[in-house]
Homo-oligomer: A and B are copies of this chain.
Amino acid sequence: MATGFELDRRIEAGTAHVTDWPLCQLRLKDDARFPWLLLVPRLVGASEFTDLSAGDYEQCMAELLAGTRVMMEAVRPDKINVAMFGNIVPQMHLHVIGRFRSDAAWPGAVFAAGDGPEYAAEAKAELVKKLANAAARLRP
């Protein structure tokens, strides 16, 4: 499955590694406004759900559900937002975002809110650790 997989540099640039699950790499988007996970299936050339084998799709959806749980446990948001676009970076990546009624874009979509400030180094390390701990417990 992972043969030849390389993380797209545009995804890598704005995110930090959290952990690897059986199919996806989990990464934290470096936007201090929103707790925001990316799930990147370690597959070559996958862009649409229909590109996945039945087994990979099933695992991807199990990891999406588990990613929702990780976000809920780690940051206790008011709502989870989920999305997959790929209009700019075709390498498949799923967004799992914890939203708060008090956040900078509520109730709008974060995708309409432009780029935000990066985390301070310490805050980022702390959140990555919290997410990684939840991800280890909830690994699907």
Interface residues of A (CB under 8 A from B): 47-50, 57-58, 61, 64-65, 68-69, 72, 79-88, 99, 106-109, 111-112
Q: Which residue of B lies closest to A64 (CB)?
A: B49
A87 lies within 8 A of B81 (CB): yes
Taken together, the copies of this chain in the complex come to 2
Tell me whether chain A's interface is mostly helix, strand or loop, or mixed: mixed
Contacting residues, chain B, for A112 (C-beta < 8 A): 109, 111-112
Contacting residues, chain B, for A65 (C-beta < 8 A): 49-50, 57
Contacting residues, chain B, for A57 (C-beta < 8 A): 61, 65
**CB proximity of A13 to chain B, nearest CB, Å:** 17
Contacting residues, chain B, for A50 (C-beta < 8 A): 65, 68-69, 72
